[in-house]
Structure 1
Amino acid sequence: MSDVFEQYAPFVRDFIYEHEWESLRAIQLAAADAIFNTTSNVLLTSSTASGKTEAAFFPILTELWENPPTSVGALYISPLKALINDQFYRLEDLCAQADIPVWHWHGDVSASHKAKLLNHPSGVLQITPESLEALLLRRHAAIPALFYDLRYVVIDEIHSLLRGDRGMQTLCLIERLSRLADVNPRRIGLSATIGDPQSMAAVLAAGTGRTTVIPRVVGPRQTWHLSMEHFYTSGPQATELHKEAGQHQDSSSQAELSSEKTNGAPALADPGLGYIYEHTRGKKCLVFSNSREECEAVTSTLRSYCEYNHEPDRFLIHHGNLSSSFRESAENRMRDDEEALTTCTTATLELGIDIGRLERAFQIDAPFTVSSFLQRMGRTGRRGLPPEMWFVMREDQPEPRSLLPETIPWKLLQGIALVQLYTEEHWVEPVREGRLPYSLLYHQTMAVLASSGDVSPAQLARLVLTLSPFKNVSTDDYKLLLRHLLQTEHIQQTEEGTLLLGLAGERIVNTFRFYGVFVENEEYTVRSESQELGTVVQPPPVGEKLAIAGQVWLVEELNHKRRLVYVTMVKGKVPAYFGNVAGDINTRILERMKQVLVEQIEYAYVRPQAQARLVQARNVARMARLTDKPLINVGGDTWALFPWLGSYAFLALERIIKRKLPAHLGVKGIDVCRPYYIQFRMDATPEAFIAALAEVASTNCNPEELLFDSEVPVFDKYDEYLPSELVRKGFAHGVLDVSGACARIMQWAQSQLR
């Protein structure tokens, strides 16, 4: 430690002394070595709360102190405004001792603060991708002066950015900024959950001409406190229903709650939420949901339990559709260690915002990824406590006449699979490669034109196609895009042959919504008197109720032109709606779910109700031979196909069945539960069905043939402005995992031959 410690600037050493650190952590030692002693990019990956931010900034700030930059010296890019606000105050305290300015720039930051930066570019700038896009667009001429001495770009939570177009936009922004300012800053990526560090390192290095160092960090062995329990939303629970020999009900179990008794929750209440209500009492907790709608419903129910028991409301709410004042209020109250509060949230508190000493995290159902599981559990376990997560799996009681697929507890299997994949193999989802980001291509083309003025087609192609995210886009594809944009007046050509924005393009670019590349629903702002509550997608008519901020409100007035909803608070319960939520699951998770059904081991973290439900599911699977063969007859001419494939390969298989199978098989009535099973009726034998699939898989199936004739699958934000040929190609080749589907089909065919 001493060598590294002595390399730090005096104010950094003082900070360490003041905080009474007895030693530097492994990640801090490794980061200092990589940053001080190489000129490479650096990828820092270690567990949540391991000190990655300090690990990166201690050596960076040391350099900025020893050799002060004459512009912004370090750029910190974060996916969340709240994370920037949190890091701003942490960095500001550290940097104040060395007179290194720390600036932040996003939609909630005052114009005066931004003006000071523009007048005195210096120190560290913290910014979101969207605000950096706005800076490049609206203050294009100021970029060289702001960044001509930029040395470092720190990308926090890099795994979350690189899940889709937003991460690729971030890379485009860094490359465009570097060109404009004529700099080549080192890139420092920070993440707790990277599945394939080498692939991420290659992405981080793209366009820099540098290699990426991945310091090897061996942290202390960590103990987890994990619990997974299962609840039916009503009626008898699994332990009561399960009468197998050797099974018994543990009457002392912390999980024993029924619909008639929920430890302080009203009779006939949801026992899973009653369990959460009881086991958050007196503790500081987070309750994670997989959607904003579910988050609202859970918060409303838990608050009603407080009211029923004449207790003070101890539940807060935090998600992306709430106003910033609501979110910041929840964050500030959670930082107060004197209050035992619980915040119900979505992914907005999944990342590293400091909200104090959290004792326990709850996860309702299973998240979609191992990465999310690790991030969410990692919110606890700070300040010397072990990480602690309680999974609460909820499902409706299967109807007596339910078919086989509906009797399987898919979310329970998924939760176990996520835990087992990490504990057994340390497996985390890798970076998804091979996409054709045509929507982003449109966006960056318009952004470059808006900021550069008129350029020739060749210049535009050189400026855009050389950005690293577009390495798979051909010149022919780009010509097709430009011709289409000319026809639709998104761009126009001057008499000299140069290109600039057209009228239609200006309307799109000249709005704040253009800064982002993630899909947004048309949102209405909800207000109660002078207070802004948040936004909703589909407001109900006047006189109806809506749910937001964990409360129920009566709609008093609707202003469609200004997209405003005026409400007053009332009692009651109604479902919320904020737009669709997508969850992409990797094939490895589905395969591990299958193994959970096959293996007969008990998992130490699985509680009695969940264990009883798992035993029941394993018995059903064994009786039906569910894991032995892919196609199961579920009655008459109705069949269920269990592919055990991730979302994109499952979708490709679904398309193959719908588009490529011969008519004589008589496949009809296809009902899909992605990515778990496909149910349908057919006239053929299972052997004939598998043989027909194998014939398709063995003929090098063209992905574009899996689209319907007039189908234009618009998913990404700017797809609607693309020529239909590119939308179809992007979906077929960049979304559908045809090779994964075909490989699974050939496995079935070979197994059938044995």
Structure 2
Amino acid sequence: MSDVDRLDPVVVHHIVNTLGWPGLRPLQEEAIAPILAGEDAVLLAPTAGGKTEAACFPVLSAMSQQEWTGISVLYLCPLKALLNNLVTRVDGYAQWLGRRAELWHGDVTDSRRNRIRRDPPDILLTTPESLEAMLIGTKTDHNALLGGVRAVVIDEVHAFAGDDRGWHLLAVLERLQRVTGKPIQRIGLSATVGNPAELLTWLQGSGAGVRAGRVIAPGVGMVTPGVDGARPDTGTQSDGGGVNSRDSAGGSPADVWTEGSELAVARESSTAPPPGDIELDYVGSLENAAKVISALHRGEKRLVFCDSRRQVEELGAALRTRGVTVFLSHASLSVDERTRAEQAFAEARDCVIVSTSTLELGIDVGDLDRVIQIDSPTTVASFLQRLGRTGRRADSVRNCLFLATTDDALVQAAGMLVLWGRGWVEPIVPPPEPRHLVAQQLLAVTLQRHSLGDRIWADEWNGLSPFDISAAPILAHLVDTGHLDSDTGLLHIGPTAEKRYGKRHFLELTAAFTAPPQFTVLAGRQEVGHADPSVLTDDRPGPRLLLLAGRSWRVTYIDWTRRRAFVEPADSGGVAKWSNIGLRGLSFELSRAIRDVLVGVDPPVSLTKRAIGQLADIRATKDVAFSGATILEREGDSVRWWTWAGFRANATLSASLSAVVDPTQRPSDFSIRMRPDLTRSMWRDAVTPLRSADASLTYPHADERAARGLKFSDVLPESLAAATVSARLADVEGARKVLSEKTIFRAS
């Protein structure tokens, strides 16, 4: 019997006759047997690789063959928009077997939720936050509604695992397993990651090492850069002999240069690379990027990625002034505004949509012709997601054009593409020491249970660390501060938690991340999006103008109490600005790849003449990079240590070498400012003890503002909140690699 024959005959019939498929993809076929056997699994494939079907077809077959009833399958996604995009497709597959799928998240109306409570579907598409709200809410009998769950599909599982939402997801799944009274099969869907086996172990939670599980990734490691973005790691570095090296004549369908103050676009058919190549260009400014985008690829549907909301707004406005049909998508636009833009873009042809990472995941925006990246993402994984948005037609291949607006962006893009060319993808690593989420879970499970035994509370997570007995000090603090009450061996929600989280039925307690406070922007009754408070309080002459949804708005009234700003259209101008409270900085690997670029390594992609020339100029002026060694450079009264190790490793080195580091200067991704009176003997005395194998390095210091960036940090002792942030600022492994290298002393 083939694996396909194991599927329910009705599913096979519809695959052939309704979908018109001649067969299944390798991933879809290989997933059948383990999923039908109840094994946990991580399914890996590029964007549009058929992962949803690889999970749904065997799960639906198991549902039919084993006669599951009620809500037996949960389909979890990190974004509501992704759920909205998937529900019709998943429901269509379910209807083949007389089953159905429904949607449940924060935008679903109460009346629709009540219908689900009365008549549960077979598959429920939701978010982890909404799932927890069901567990702790008083309107939902979670035992009746969720007690029959047999399998959980987690889409874009890598987006969870590398973030605090991943810890939250694992904890909620363990609590759900207590409700069902039996293990729940866990199926993760992911794009390419650097450590798939570890991702599977993470996903299994308390079942790791107990339940059967496997990674299913046919063909991964066998595709080449420029197609699916992954290839076997040969262990060698690129020497510039890729598709187009520095010494070649350059060449792209659009080499760009400056003529006076205008940017011109020329066709050079004799040097044009094959369609679908990855191209790296240097344009020098966001305005020039708008000129290139408006002139190139007319008649095509283009998706442009930026890595800040401000860039999205400014580029969108610049394109609109050049007559380009443009749509915008980012997290501070209203849901209606984003939905309208995405739908209009999906139906249009000659147009551009400019987006942050909101469109990086698998939301369908129609048949794309081209992806354009302004500057560079900070990870190879992010680039692979974006690259995978193209090449979905049979007559097309995946493509991406990089437009670097600064020197730093050019070398970062080149460094990231060097890593990609080596077949390297970031490992997914959960944030360490999530004590704040342990506190949140202790409160949430007490709400769910109404009372909790003060000796058996750790059983609620089935022994999963860090939600196990090791959390006792956090529990004690919650009791001491009145967040929990302890009475005759039982724990209850205390008055402090009631006061802090009790509004809206403890809804705020279900969100595992902190968003900066923003003002809602309204044009009449229509919500446009959200603005940072600083834009409304900055002291600027003249009328207050905002740039939002790619359009200019004049602020007419601010309701400070309700955090609302009322606006009307303006002819031009406006400020786009948002705060960012996240921990930032480049990784050790990317910083080292940037060093490789500066010493002469080219990425295996097409470089335009302008990019080649600009890289040559940068390399001629940046003489602080050296392969295999760090450089300690004295320039006048300043001493700088060029480590090329990334912010976290440099922060760890700064904390560990505090006696010789300038305490007034923050480390960068590439260097550390040292004491101006540093001598070789002082350096040797400080570094030598740290080079031994058993030496302990010091975590970076975390200030109060950084600790406040953790959701629920205010229910932890200050020392524990600071310790969590310090652990997340550290890269001990990267710091040890730097310490193991030789150091070149140089005076300029």
TMscore range, shorter length:
0.7 to 0.9
CA distance in 2, matches of 1:562, 1:661: 49
Does the residue aligned with 1:79 lie in a helix, a strand or coil? Answer: coil
Aligned partner of 2:367 in structure 1 is 357
Aligned partner of 2:621 in structure 1 is 620
Deviation by residue 1:261-317 (Cα, 9 ceiling, x = unmatched): 2359xx9982223112222532111111111122112112211222xxxxxx51100
CA distance in 1, matches of 2:664, 2:729: 25
Aligned partner of 1:459 among 438, 453, 456: 456
Aligned partner of 2:608 in structure 1 is 607
Aligned partner of 1:302 among 319, 322, 325: 319
The equivalences for 1:393-412 within 5 A come to 393-395=404-406, 409-412=407-410
CA distance in 2, matches of 1:627, 1:601: 14
Q: Taking structure 1 as reference, are residues 16 and 690 closer, same or farther at Cα in structure 2, changes over 3 Å only? A: farther
Aligned partner of 1:418 in structure 2 is 416
1:373 Cα shift? 0.6
Aligned partner of 2:234 in structure 1 is none
Does the residue aligned with 2:640 lie in a helix, a strand or coil? Answer: strand
Which is further off, 432-441 or 70-79?
432-441
1:150 Cα shift? 1.7
1:585 Cα shift? 3.2
TM-score normalised to structure 2 length: 0.86
CA distance in 2, matches of 1:699, 1:363: 42
Aligned partner of 2:424 in structure 1 is 427
Deviation by residue 1:109-134 (Cα, 9 ceiling, x = unmatched): 12222112111223110001111121
Does the residue aligned with 2:366 lie in a helix, a strand or coil? Answer: coil
Aligned partner of 2:310 in structure 1 is 293
Aligned partner of 1:670 among 665, 670, 690: 665
8 Å CA contact retained: 1:288, 1:344: yes
Q: Taking structure 1 as reference, are residues 527 and 600 closer, same or farther at Cα in structure 2, changes over 3 Å only? A: closer
Q: Taking structure 1 as reference, are residues 493 and 68 closer, same or farther at Cα in structure 2, changes over 3 Å only? A: same
CA distance in 1, matches of 2:628, 2:184: 54
- Partner letter of residue 224 of structure 1? G
Aligned partner of 2:238 in structure 1 is none
Aligned partner of 1:334 among 320, 342, 345: 345
Deviation by residue 1:382-440 (Cα, 9 ceiling, x = unmatched): 12221111111111xxxxxxxxxxxxx3332222222222332x221112157110111
Q: Taking structure 1 as reference, are residues 631 and 163 closer, same or farther at Cα in structure 2, changes over 3 Å only? A: same
| Residue 381 of structure 2 is aligned to residue 371 of structure 1 | yes
1:697 Cα shift? 5.3
1:76 Cα shift? 0.4
8 Å CA contact retained: 1:704, 1:728: no
8 Å CA contact retained: 1:286, 1:360: yes
Q: Taking structure 1 as reference, are residues 5 and 547 closer, same or farther at Cα in structure 2, changes over 3 Å only? A: farther
Q: Taking structure 1 as reference, are residues 427 and 710 closer, same or farther at Cα in structure 2, changes over 3 Å only? A: closer
1:196 Cα shift? 0.5
Does the residue aligned with 2:42 lie in a helix, a strand or coil? Answer: strand
Does the residue aligned with 2:255 lie in a helix, a strand or coil? Answer: coil
Aligned partner of 2:482 in structure 1 is 489
Q: Taking structure 1 as reference, are residues 502 and 155 closer, same or farther at Cα in structure 2, changes over 3 Å only? A: same
8 Å CA contact retained: 2:164, 2:434: yes
The equivalences for 1:701-740 within 5 A come to 706-707=700-701, 713-740=707-734
1:648 Cα shift? 2.2
The equivalences for 1:222-261 within 5 A come to 224=226, 253-257=254-258, 260-261=261-262
TM-score normalised to structure 1 length: 0.86
- Partner letter of residue 540 of structure 1? L
Q: Taking structure 1 as reference, are residues 216 and 639 closer, same or farther at Cα in structure 2, changes over 3 Å only? A: same
Deviation by residue 1:539-558 (Cα, 9 ceiling, x = unmatched): 51594112211112111111
Aligned partner of 2:466 in structure 1 is 470
CA distance in 2, matches of 1:423, 1:287: 22
Aligned partner of 2:137 in structure 1 is 138
Aligned partner of 1:241 in structure 2 is none
CA distance in 2, matches of 1:723, 1:259: 60
CA distance in 2, matches of 1:557, 1:435: 44
CA distance in 2, matches of 1:439, 1:268: 41
Deviation by residue 1:106-161 (Cα, 9 ceiling, x = unmatched): 11112222112111223110001111121111048622212222221000000011
| Residue 534 of structure 2 is aligned to residue 517 of structure 1 | no
- Partner letter of residue 500 of structure 1? H
8 Å CA contact retained: 2:545, 2:553: yes
Aligned partner of 2:392 in structure 1 is 382
- Partner letter of residue 481 of structure 1? I
Q: Taking structure 1 as reference, are residues 668 and 521 closer, same or farther at Cα in structure 2, changes over 3 Å only? A: closer
8 Å CA contact retained: 2:313, 2:576: yes
1:24 Cα shift? 1.3
Aligned partner of 2:263 in structure 1 is 262
- Partner letter of residue 709 of structure 2? F
Which is further off, 201-210 or 366-375?
201-210
1:598 Cα shift? 2.5
- Partner letter of residue 479 of structure 1? A
| Residue 497 of structure 2 is aligned to residue 498 of structure 1 | no
Q: Taking structure 1 as reference, are residues 202 and 624 closer, same or farther at Cα in structure 2, changes over 3 Å only? A: closer
8 Å CA contact retained: 2:46, 2:228: no
Tell me the number of residue pairs that the alignment of Structure 1 and Structure 2 aligns.
Answer: 700
- Where in structure 2 are there 5+ consecutive unaligned residues? 230-245, 266-283
Does the residue aligned with 2:665 lie in a helix, a strand or coil? Answer: strand
Q: Percent identical across equivalent pairs? A: 27
Aligned partner of 1:317 among 315, 321, 328: 328
| Residue 93 of structure 2 is aligned to residue 94 of structure 1 | yes
- Partner letter of residue 365 of structure 1? D
- Partner letter of residue 468 of structure 1? L
8 Å CA contact retained: 2:651, 2:667: no
8 Å CA contact retained: 1:255, 1:607: yes
Q: Taking structure 1 as reference, are residues 582 and 283 closer, same or farther at Cα in structure 2, changes over 3 Å only? A: farther
Q: Taking structure 1 as reference, are residues 699 and 23 closer, same or farther at Cα in structure 2, changes over 3 Å only? A: closer
Aligned partner of 1:579 in structure 2 is 579
8 Å CA contact retained: 2:630, 2:741: no
CA distance in 2, matches of 1:13, 1:276: 45
1:501 Cα shift? 1.6
CA distance in 1, matches of 2:364, 2:344: 12
- Partner letter of residue 732 of structure 1? S
CA distance in 2, matches of 1:600, 1:517: 41
CA distance in 2, matches of 1:140, 1:584: 43
Q: Taking structure 1 as reference, are residues 103 and 249 closer, same or farther at Cα in structure 2, changes over 3 Å only? A: closer
- Partner letter of residue 491 of structure 1? L
- Partner letter of residue 463 of structure 1? E
CA distance in 1, matches of 2:702, 2:67: 60
Aligned partner of 2:271 in structure 1 is none
Which is further off, 289-298 or 4-13?
4-13
8 Å CA contact retained: 2:117, 2:145: yes
1:625 Cα shift? 5.7
Deviation by residue 1:500-522 (Cα, 9 ceiling, x = unmatched): 22222123333433321111111
Does the residue aligned with 1:206 lie in a helix, a strand or coil? Answer: helix
CA distance in 1, matches of 2:319, 2:311: 12
1:247 Cα shift? 9.1
